[in-house]
Copies of this chain bind each other. A is one copy, B any other.
């Protein structure tokens, strides 16, 4: 019997974690832009990073610190990605880690650093250095919301999820915080996510559980198909719950993994719902593909089609554009077998128009959240992607950012 996962109405940090958030002046106007998250004791950690070949300086540094296996703290700034800043960017990322380490009595290699915001603008690292003692001083077990607000960029809402499970009779909390509203694409996005848990977890278990949970959550969302230079998901397990370290294949592992996956999936959904200009949350479900890989191709091709996304924005059940994107996805397809459903109602059957009335189909696509099911009917491959519409609001938001931010130059 699967153990129930309790999602907390008021998310809290797991035992042995403290967090803080404040304004250090990168964004200006007193907006929070510096967050810190610390485990009181050494934590077992694993992280996944952007697969973009252009990686931000903090990503490159954090990849090395992760390998060191000693992480205990995370320092995050928003408002500047510290990406494409050359050697100065690499130095600035190290200065960030040093500032956090000096202020908290940790070693540099125990600090994981993340930056999110504009690409190609030098990081005003001195502001972070100046603020580091203050952010360390304000760390507290109740600092989750402050932290979650400090890491946001174009997000409209903060994104926090807490799940509670029982492992060997001990209460375990898994809490995730994420940011990211544009540049959302499969295989990570302009998104940061920090998952903390007081469970004790073995190194092998945290690696495998993290990779699996990311694959089924953050790597299954797409807003605009752009993949950023800074994406990072970090999982920290500090063992404060007092359970025996969870190992792969154990009963505790099954419970832990399902809760970790649930927390990440809830965060991933929040990312899509809060995407730039998003007015619809759409689940694309592909069934009957010749392979899992083909199912993924089809789902992503449909999720990234501008024409399809525009039609959803207009509440238009345009299955012709969907089947067109299926056709150019690269997956094996037999036109006469393709069924397409909107909210469970057939738009197309056997590759041609179904008998459902347009009024009913339109009603299904008019909802704020609906599922598009594509059954290729030629195999057993399945895949799901969570995505959004493409709105005039998305364009209006993204046509301006860079020059505005640099207008002082």
Contact A120 B306, beta carbon cutoff 8 Å: no
How many Å lie between the Cα of A399 and that of B394 in the bound state?
A: 13
A325-B226, A327-B53 known; A406+B120 contact, CB < 8 A: no
Contact B392 A396, beta carbon cutoff 8 Å: yes
Chain B residue at minimum C-beta to C-beta distance from A52:
B327
A328-B227, A352-B84 known; A54+B333 contact, CB < 8 A: yes
* A120, A313, A335, A407: most-surrounded residue (chain B CB, <10 A): A120
> Which residues of A in the span 101-120 have a Cβ within 8 Å of any Cβ on B?
118-120
How many Å lie between the Cα of A391 and that of B397 in the bound state?
A: 11
Interface string of A113-137 (1 = CB under 8 A from B): 0000011111000000000000000
A256 CB–B CB distance under 8 Å: no
Contact A353 B121, beta carbon cutoff 8 Å: yes
* Cβ distance A301 to chain B, nearest Cβ, rounded Å: 10
Contact B352 A120, beta carbon cutoff 8 Å: yes
> Which residues of A in the span 332-375 have a Cβ within 8 Å of any Cβ on B?
332-333, 335-336, 338, 348, 350-353, 357-358, 362
* Copies assembled: 2
Contact A313 B402, beta carbon cutoff 8 Å: no
Q: How would you classify the secondary structure of chain A's contact residues: helix, strand, loop or mixed?
A: loop
A311 CB–B CB distance under 8 Å: yes
Chain B residue at minimum C-beta to C-beta distance from A357:
B409
CB < 8 Å neighbour of A306 from B228, B306, B317, B357: B306
By a CB distance below 8 angstroms, the chain B residues around A358 are 403, 406-407, 409
How many Å lie between the Cα of A51 and that of B328 in the bound state?
A: 7
A320 CB–B CB distance under 8 Å: yes
Q: Please report A residues at the B interface, Cβ cutoff 8 Å.
A: 51-55, 81, 83-86, 88-89, 118-122, 182-183, 185, 224-229, 304-307, 310-311, 313-321, 323-328, 331-333, 335-336, 338, 348, 350-353, 357-358, 362, 390-392, 394-403, 406-407, 409
Q: A52-B327, A54-B323, A314-B399 known; 13 other A-B pairs, CB under 8 Å?
A: A53-B331, A55-B327, A84-B352, A89-B352, A121-B320, A229-B323, A229-B327, A307-B398, A310-B399, A314-B398, A315-B403, A320-B402, A392-B395
Q: Could you jot down 15 A-B contacts, CB within 8 Å?
A: A53-B335, A54-B326, A54-B333, A86-B350, A118-B320, A119-B323, A120-B348, A120-B352, A183-B307, A183-B324, A226-B306, A226-B307, A226-B328, A316-B399, A318-B401
